[in-house]
Amino acid sequence: MRQLPSRNLDSKTFIAAAAFLCMPAYSNSANSMDIEVDPADFIMGGYRIHAGYIRLPLRVDLGIIGVEIPSTFHGNEDFSYDLFGVIGRVDYLFDSYENLFVGLECTQMRNRYTHKPTKSSTTRYPFLLATRIGYRFRFFEHLTVTPWVGLGVLLNKGDDFVVDSDKFKTPTFNAFPTIHLGWAF
């Protein structure tokens, strides 16, 4: 029988881990969770969902997105553009959960660009770093409506995708306003 390697934890590591895990029990701030979706992505046939953990004054969330962006938004009629991404966010909540917030967002994406006439495609893996500001409203105890706007920079986006004389221009900077619908627990 093969023996597993031992994992020695010193007492400082154990005390630090135990203190971290017990902090919510001794905190004055409320701890809760929420789930949010972006209806715009569902309307376009995709999805975006976030699960958030709130420990005032912070909200941390992890989300996923998958959607094909219509050419009316990206402006390149000869191309289709779809993306999949994993999103991480940290927001600072002013005064309470239902109030003004500012935050940072990091998104690792898989972007696929396809030239419609030739079916030629390329895939890129850019990283989005963004700031965001918004306001969260709460209705009927659990329902949340959160309008916000983000300003981001797309890092390691690569060159524009060119096929024949057609070019898909990928902007470095972007602004993205949206409204999320959610459920707070």
Coil, helix or strand for 63? Answer: strand
Query: Phi/psi of residue 163, each to 5°?
Result: -130, 125
What pLDDT is attached to residue 104? 98
Q: How far apart are CA 102 and CA 97, in angstroms?
A: 12
Residue that has been written with the tokens 């010193």 in this structure: 10
Residue type, 125: Y
Q: How far apart are CA 153 and CA 172, in angstroms?
A: 6
Over the chain (185 residues), what is each successive 10-residue block's mean pLDDT?
42 50 47 94 93 95 94 86 95 94 96 92 94 97 96 89 84 92 95
CA-based end-to-end distance of the chain: 46
Contacts of 117 (CB under 8 A, 6+ apart): 78, 164, 166
Query: What's the pTM value of the predicted model, to 2 decimals?
Result: 0.77
What pLDDT is attached to residue 24? 47
